[in-house]
C-alpha cells in the first residue's frame, strides 16, 4: 500500500532526526521523572494508601509527557518551514498523519518503557496483577491518546499559541479514554477478582480507539489543506 | 500553512455598506420570545403544582431542563452546520455553526449554575459527580475550546475549516463521554441500556409536565431569536470587513 | 421552603440570558459606529 510506505518513510525520518538530536525524548523522560518526584511529595510513599493512587499517577505521567512530544511534532516542521513541502509532496494527508502518529507512538512507548518501571521502583510497588494485561492496557490507552493527540496537534499547529491550545483541545476529548484506562489499570494492578469489569473497560477503550482513529483518518484531509 | 496566506484573495463582490431592512423577522421573533417567556413563567409559577418534598426549589427544574435541552440542541446544530460547511464551503454555514456554539455555551453556563443551586437545596451538596453533570461540564470545556479555535489568527476559511473539524469530533465524543462516566459511576458494573442512577425519583405530575413543555417551547423560540440576531450581526461584521478590504485596495492603487 | 434557592437560580439564569443579549447589543453598536465612520470616510 502506497499510504503505508510513505507513512513509514515519514516516521523513519522523524525517528532518525530524533535519534540524532535526542531533544524530545530526553526531555520527556526527565519530565516524567520530575513528575514522579513531585508525586512523592504529594503522596507519602511510605504510606500504604499511596498504592491506591499509583494507577492514576501512571496516566498522569503518560498524559503530560505525551503532550510535550505532541506539541513538538508539528511545530518542528513549521519552524523549519518544511510543512509546506510535506503538503505539496506527492502523498496524501492521511499518510502524513499516519507517519506522525507512528513516530509519536514509538517515542511514547519508549518513554513509558523507561518511566513506568522507574515509578514502580521508587514507590516500592508490589506487583500482584497480570503483567501482559497491564501492558495491553498501557498500549491501548497510549494508542488512543496519541491517535487523537496527533490529529489535534495538526489542528492546533495553525495557531500561533499552539502549545497552550493543544491541552485545552485534547483533555476534554480524551476524557472517556482516560477514565476507562485508569479504571482498567486500577483493577489489573490491585484487584484481580473484578477482572471481568476490567475487560469491559478494555473493550470501551478499544472501541474508542477504533472510532477515533477512523474519524481522524477521514477528517485529516480537511485539517492538512494547503 | 506556514506561508503567509493572511490576505484575502480579492475583493469580493457585495461590499456595499447598505444595510438591508430585514428587521421584520427579528421583531416578530422578539415579540414571540417575550410572549412565550411570559406564558412559560405563568405556567411555571402559578399553574404547575408545587412539589411536596422539595417545595419552591423544585421550580428550578423547568429552567434547568430547558436550558440543558437548548444547549444540547444548539451543539447539535453546530455539528450539522459543521458537516454542511465541510461539504459546501459556504460562509453562511460557518456563521451559523459559530453563533449556535456560542449560544450553547451561554446556556451550558445556566445549566451549570442552576444545577448546583438545585442540588444544594435538595441533596444539601453543591456538586455530585454524577454522569449527566460531568458530561455537561466536559461539553462546556469542549465548546470553550471550539470558541478558542475561532479566536485564532488567520484567514476566515482556515479557521472555519479547523473549527468545523473540531465541532464534528467534539460532538461525536459526547455520547462516549456519557457512557464512560455512567459505567464509571455505577461502581464497575457496566450497564449499557436501561436506567442508571437517576436524578428524578418517581413520576412527574401532569401540571408539571405541561409547564415543562411550555418552557421548552419558550426556550426554543428564544434560541431561534438569538440565532437570528447573532447571525445578522455576524453578516454585518463580514460586510464591514469586506468594505475595509475594498478601501485598502483603493488606497493602494 | 426553598424560596431562596428558587430566587437565586432564576436570577442567575436571567442575568446570564440578559448578559448575553447585552453583549450582542454592544457588538451591534460597535459595528454601527464603524459603519458610520466608514461612511464619513467615503465622503
Confirm or reject contact between B164 and chain A (CB < 8 A). yes
B13 belongs to a structural domain: no
User: Cell numbers 465541510 label which residue?
Assistant: B86
Predicted local distance difference test score (pLDDT) of residue B52? 65
Residue B11: pLDDT band (50, 70, 90) is very low
pLDDT attached to residue A109: 94
Q: What is the pLDDT of residue B118?
A: 82
In chain A, the N- to C-terminal Cα span, in Å, equals 24
b/e code B120-139 from CB counts within 10 Å (16+ = b): bbbeeeeeeebbbbbbbbbb
Q: Is B186 on the interface with C (CB under 8 A)?
A: no
Are A194 and A187 in contact by the 8 Å Cβ rule? The answer is yes
pLDDT at B5: 44
- Cα A182 to Cα A50, A127, A142, B142: the distances in Å are 15, 16, 12, 21
> What pLDDT digit, counting tens, does each position of A207-219 carry?
999 999 999 988 9
Partner-chain residue, chosen from C9, C28, C41, that has the shortest CB–CB distance to B114: C9
Partners of A171 on chain B (C-beta within 8 Å) are 141
Biggest CA–CA distance in chain B, Å, is: 76
Tally of structural domains, chain B: 1
Looking at B93-107, B187-201, C18-32, which range is the least confident one? Answer: B187-201
Model confidence, pTM: 0.85
DSSP state letters, A50-107: GGGGHHHHHHHHHHHHHHHHHHHHHHHHHHTT-HHHHHHSSS-HHHHHHHHHHHHHHH
B76-111 pLDDT tens trace: 999 999 999 999 888 899 999 999 999 999 999 999
Q: How many Cα atoms are found within 13 Å in the side-chain-facing hemisphere of B45?
A: 10
pLDDT(B196) > 50:
no
Domain-embedded: residue B102: yes
User: Which of B23, B243, B92, B26 minimizes the C-alpha distance to C34?
Assistant: B243
Domain residues for the domain of B213 are: 23-198+205-247
Among B136, B139, B177, B180, the residue to mutate for chain A (most A Cβ within 10 A): B180
Predicted confidence (pLDDT) at residue B194 exceeds the cutoff of 50? no
Q: What is the dihedral of CA A81, A83, A88, A92, to 10 degrees?
A: 170
Q: Is residue B4 part of a domain?
A: no
Which are the contacts of A31, defined by CB distance < 8 A and separation ≥ 6? A64, A65, A68
pLDDT band for position A152 (50/70/90)? very high
Please judge whether A84 and B169 are an interchain contact, meaning their C-beta atoms are less than 8 angstroms apart: no
With touching defined as 3 or more inter-chain CB pairs under 8 Å, the answer for chains C and A is: no
User: Alpha-carbon torsion B179, B184, B190, B193, what sign?
Assistant: negative
* Closest chain B residue by Cα to residue A168: B145
Q: Are A202 and B190 in contact (CB under 8 A)?
A: no
Q: B131 or B175: whose pLDDT is higher?
A: B175
A159: nearest CA partner in chain B: B152
A75-102 per-position pLDDT tens digit: 888 888 888 888 888 888 889 999 999 9
Residue B173 inside a domain? The answer is: yes
The whole-number pLDDT of residue A129 equals 76
Asked if the model's pLDDT at residue B184 lies above 50, the reply is: yes
State the average pLDDT over residues C5-34.
89
Q: Which residue has the higher pLDDT, B3 or A131?
A: A131
Task: Using alpha carbons only, give the angle A201, B135, B120 rounded to the nearest 5 degrees.
Answer: 120
| pLDDT for the residue A194 | 79
Least CB–CB distance from A81: residue in B2, B183, B190: B2
Q: For position B19, what pLDDT does the model report?
A: 53
A111-115, A161-165, B137-141: least confident range: A161-165
Task: Quote the CA–CA distance of A213 and A194 in Å, as a whole number.
Answer: 29
Which of B236, B238, B246, B251 is most worth mutating to test chain C (most C CB atoms within 10 A of its CB)?
B236
Q: How far apart are CA B170 and CA C18, in angstroms?
A: 28
What are phi and psi for residue B55, nearest 5 degrees? 70, -145
Chain segment A181-202, per-residue pLDDT in tens? 998 998 888 877 778 888 888 9
Please report which confidence band the pLDDT of residue B211 belongs to, taking 50, 70 and 90 as the band edges: confident
Q: What is the pLDDT of residues B116-160, one digit of tens each?
A: 888 888 777 788 777 778 888 999 999 999 999 988 888 888 889
Count CB pairs under 8 A between chains B and C: 79
Residue B2 lies in a domain: no
In a domain, B77, yes or no: yes
Q: What is the pLDDT of residue A191?
A: 76
Determine the pLDDT at residue B17.
57
CA distance B179 to A45: 34
For chain B, list the strands marked E by DSSP.
Answer: none
CB of B162 within 8 Å of any CB in chain A? yes
Whether A185 contacts A125, CB under 8 Å: no
Q: Does residue B252 form part of some domain? A: no
Name the residue facing B165 among A84, A172, A219 (closest C-beta).
A219
Instruction: List, in sequence order, every residue forming a beta bridge with B51; answer none if it has no partner.
Output: B55
Partner-chain contact C2 B121, CB within 8 Å: yes
Mean pLDDT, all residues of chain A: 87
- pLDDT tier, B2 (very low <50, low <70, confident <90, very high otherwise): very low
C-alpha cell at A46: 511510605
Among the partner-chain residues B117, B230, B236, the one whose CB lies closest to the CB of C8 is B117
- Are C24 and B230 within 8 A, CB to CB? yes
The whole-number pLDDT of residue B86 equals: 92
Chain B residues 114-143 with CB within 8 Å of chain A: 138, 141-142
* pLDDT-based confidence at residue C23 (cuts at 50, 70, 90): very high
What distance in Å separates the CA atoms of residue B170 and residue A172, rounded to the nearest whole number?
9
Q: Comparing B60 with A155, which gets the higher pLDDT? A: A155
Per-residue cell: A25: 525524548
* Integer Cα distance of B239 and B19 in angstroms: 9
Which of B2, B3, B171 is the best mutation test for A, with the most CBs of A within 10 A? Answer: B2
Interacting residues of A105 by C-beta distance below 8 A, sequence separation 6+: A142, A143, A146
A155 within 8 A of B165, measured Cβ to Cβ: yes
User: What is the per-residue pLDDT across A27-46, written as a single tens digit (0 to 9) for each?
Assistant: 999 999 999 888 888 887 77
Is the residue at B179 inside a domain? yes
- What residues of A are in contact with residue B184 (Cβ under 8 Å)? 179, 183
What average pLDDT does the segment A140-147 reach?
A: 94
The closest alpha carbon to B63, from C5, C24, C25, belongs to C5
Amino acid at each position: 500500500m502506497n499510504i503505508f510506505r510513505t507513512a513509514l518513510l515519514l516516521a523513519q525520518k522523524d525517528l532518525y532526526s530524533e535519534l540524532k538530536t535526542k531533544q524530545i525524548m530526553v526531555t520527556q523522560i526527565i519530565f516524567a521523572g520530575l513528575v514522579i518526584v513531585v508525586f512523592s511529595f504529594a503522596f507519602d510513599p511510605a504510606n500504604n494508601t499511596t498504592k491506591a493512587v499509583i494507577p492514576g499517577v501512571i496516566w498522569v505521567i503518560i498524559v503530560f509527557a505525551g503532550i510535550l512530544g505532541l506539541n513538538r511534532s508539528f511545530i518542528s516542521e513549521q519552524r523549519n518551514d518544511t510543512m509546506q513541502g510535506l503538503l505539496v509532496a506527492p502523498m496524501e494527508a492521511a499518510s502524513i498523519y499516519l507517519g506522525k502518529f507512528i513516530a509519536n507512538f514509538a517515542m511514547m512507548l519508549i518513554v513509558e518503557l523507561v518511566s513506568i518501571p522507574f515509578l514502580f521502583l521508587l514507590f516500592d510497588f508490589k506487583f500482584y496483577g497480570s503483567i501482559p494485561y497491564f501492558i495491553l492496557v498501557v498500549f491501548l490507552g497510549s494508542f488512543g491518546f496519541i491517535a487523537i493527540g496527533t490529529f489535534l496537534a495538526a489542528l492546533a499547529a495553525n495557531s500561533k499559541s499552539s502549545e497552550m491550545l493543544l491541552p485545552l483541545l485534547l483533555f476534554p476529548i480524551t476524557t472517556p479514554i482516560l477514565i476507562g484506562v485508569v479504571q482498567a489499570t486500577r483493577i489489573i494492578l490491585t484487584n484481580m477478582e473484578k477482572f471481568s469489569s476490567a475487560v469491559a473497560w478494555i473493550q470501551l477503550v478499544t472501541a474508542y480507539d477504533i472510532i477515533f482513529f477512523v474519524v481522524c483518518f477521514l477528517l485529516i484531509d480537511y485539517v492538512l489543506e494547503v | 500553512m506556514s506561508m503567509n496566506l493572511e490576505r484575502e484573495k480579492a475583493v469580493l463582490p457585495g461590499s456595499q455598506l447598505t444595510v438591508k431592512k430585514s428587521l421584520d423577522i427579528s421583531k416578530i421573533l422578539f415579540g414571540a420570545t417575550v410572549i412565550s417567556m411570559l406564558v412559560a413563567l405563568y405556567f411555571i409559577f402559578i399553574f404547575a403544582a408545587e412539589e411536596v418534598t422539595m417545595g419552591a426549589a423544585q421550580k428550578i427544574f423547568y429552567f434547568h431542563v430547558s436550558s440543558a435541552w437548548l444547549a444540547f440542541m444548539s451543539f447539535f446544530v453546530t455539528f450539522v452546520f459543521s458537516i454542511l460547511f465541510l461539504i459546501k464551503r459556504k460562509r453562511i454555514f460557518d456563521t451559523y455553526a459559530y453563533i449556535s456554539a456560542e449560544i450553547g455555551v451561554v446556556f451550558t453556563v445556566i445549566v451549570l449554575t442552576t444545577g448546583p443551586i438545585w442540588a444544594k437545596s435538595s441533596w444539601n451538596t453543591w456538586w455530585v459527580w454524577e454522569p449527566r453533570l460531568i458530561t455537561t461540564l466536559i461539553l462546556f470545556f469542549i465548546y470553550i475550546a471550539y470558541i478558542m479555535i475561532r479566536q485564532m489568527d488567520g484567514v476566515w476559511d482556515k479557521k472555519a475549516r479547523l473549527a468545523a473539524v473540531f465541532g464534528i469530533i467534539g460532538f461525536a465524543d459526547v455520547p462516549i463521554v456519557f457512557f464512560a462516566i455512567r459505567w464509571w459511576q455505577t461502581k464497575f458494573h457496566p450497564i449499557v441500556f436501561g436506567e442508571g442512577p437517576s436524578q428524578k425519583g418517581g413520576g412527574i405530575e401532569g401540571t408539571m409536565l405541561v409547564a415543562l413543555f411550555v418552557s421548552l417551547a419558550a426556550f426554543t423560540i428564544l434560541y431561534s431569536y438569538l440565532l437570528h440576531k447573532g447571525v445578522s450581526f455576524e453578516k454585518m461584521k463580514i460586510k464591514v470587513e469586506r468594505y475595509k478590504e475594498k478601501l485598502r485596495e483603493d488606497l493602494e492603487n | 421552603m426553598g424560596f431562596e434557592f428558587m430566587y437565586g437560580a432564576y436570577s442567575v439564569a436571567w442575568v446570564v440570558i440578559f448578559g448575553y443579549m447585552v453583549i450582542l447589543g454592544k457588538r451591534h453598536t460597535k459595528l454601527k459606529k464603524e459603519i458610520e465612520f466608514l461612511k464619513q470616510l467615503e465622503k
